[in-house]
Amino acid sequence: MKLISRLKLFLASKADGNKDIEGIQLLTFYENEQVIEPEKALPNSVYILDDILTERQGVCRSIFARERHNVCYLAQSYSRVAKQLLRDNANLIVLFKQDETNLKHVYMEHCSGDMLYTEFKDFCTSCWRKGRVNFIVINKDCERDNGRYRYGFDTFVII
């Protein structure tokens, strides 16, 4: 099952009152040293790395380098995420409302070959003005007008 499908399933279970889903187990770690290394993790494991920008990132970098298709890296500031390993290798980017600096970084690194900055900014703001929890998705595994740009996970946008 692709990461996006597993993530949607997990989020749906959490939205439904944290009901368990057969075959899905959530393990939480509060210290880098506790995180299970990729070679010791169960098959089909997904890592969700949340709010670790200020932490030492050795373990997390290792996880991302070896398991990037099974990693969700959550951060408040896109421009503060390590560029060479994390940002350059991301294949699915989920963006909630961003400031101008972060928006320009995302555009330059992932979208400049597909559209003008003004078009990208219009695409983003048209989604974000619909509500506080709306987000855009950039799926770099898809073609430009076939799922690469989305409102949420499911609404494809043709630029």
Over residues 62-90, mean pLDDT: 80
Q: What is the pLDDT of residue 1?
A: 47
Q: State both tokens at 41.
A: 């993790």
Percent of the chain with pLDDT over 90: 38
pLDDT, tens only, 93-144: 999 999 999 999 999 999 999 999 999 999 999 999 998 789 999 999 999 9
Q: What is the pLDDT of residue 17?
A: 57
Global confidence as pTM: 0.78
Would you list the domain boundaries of the chain? 1-90, 91-158
Q: 33-72: string of b/e by CB count within 10 Å (b at 16+)? A: eebeebeebeeebbbebeebeeeebebbeebbeebbebbe
Is the model more confident about 148 or about 19? 148
